[in-house]
Amino acid sequence: DTGVSQDPRHKITKRGQNVTFRCDPISEHNRLYWYRQTLGQGPEFLTYFQNEAQLEKSRLLSDRFSAERPKGSFSTLEIQRTEQGDSAMYLCASSLAGLGFTDTQYFGPGTRLTVL
Amino acid sequence: QKEVEQNSGPLSVPEGAIASLNCTYSDRGSQSFFWYRQYSGKSPELIMSIYSNGDKEDGRFTAQLNKASQYVSLLIRDSQPSDSATYLCAVRGAGSYQLTFGKGTKLSVIP
């Protein structure tokens, strides 16, 4: 399977704990995105990397959230001191830089986070 | 605040009919437009992208874009029960790589 992969697929944690998610993009893709989706809503953008550089970051991303893409390949998203409001599906997407803004984002299966 | 609006549905159509899904967006400088399909509990799956005014056809799917009206639509011909899903409209704004999504329209195709 050469699609975007995410790990774990499901995570249940207690409020106040830290969690970390991993995303492996499609192998030749140099752009990587994180989104969050709650029930009944469309995905909301969190952050974007081009290679290892974090170029865009949503105001939704509080100080408790941090993302890295250290070698321009896989990425991690960490949430510190989780809150019940963090419960959501965390989606990773990747794309290959194209002409202008025509690149297409392909999504991974997501990590469903439940904070008790 | 960039916004993408869709009717939440549910939109019910009989099998074999044409389903019409609509989307409007607020950022007049938007350049790229996408339709994703999302089955319950799954992640979004790309159906089509469109960048220029007019129609773009791919199999049973046709995307239509009208930048002057800030409107994009998706037509599904010969609808099948397997098309039952939530359809998400996504827009990339000017100078940005992030996608702004609508809340999605839930489509139900009745056998």
Tens digits of residue pLDDT in B40-60: 999 999 999 999 999 999 999
Tokens encoding B2: 């960039």
- Interface check for A45 against chain B (CB to CB < 8 A): the answer is yes
User: Which among B30, B51, B47 has a CA at the least distance from the CA of B86?
Assistant: B47
**A99 CB burial (10 A radius; 0-12, 13-18, 19+):** exposed
Q: Is the peptide bond between A8 and the residue preceding it cis, with omega within 30 degrees of 0?
A: yes
Question: Per residue in A69-84, pLDDT tens?
Answer: 998 899 999 999 999 9
Mean pLDDT score of chain A, rounded to an integer? 93
> In order along chain A (116 residues), what is the average pLDDT of each group of 10 residues?
90 98 94 96 95 90 92 94 97 86 89 98
In a mutational test of the A interface, the residue from B38, B46, B99, B106 whose CB has the highest number of chain A CBs within 10 Å is B99
CB B54 within 8 A of CB B63: no
What does the alpha-carbon distance between residue A114 and residue A104 come to, in Å, rounded to a whole number?
Answer: 29
Q: Do A42 and B104 touch (CB under 8 A)?
A: yes
The backbone torsions φ and ψ at residue B40, rounded to the nearest 5 degrees and listed phi first, read -55, 125
Q: Residue A65: which residues within 8 A CB-CB, separation 6 or more?
A: A46, A77, A78, A79, A80
Amino acid at A7: D
Q: Closest to B46 (Cβ–Cβ): which among A44, A56, A104?
A: A104
In a mutational test of the B interface, the residue from A23, A61, A107 whose CB has the highest number of chain B CBs within 10 Å is A107
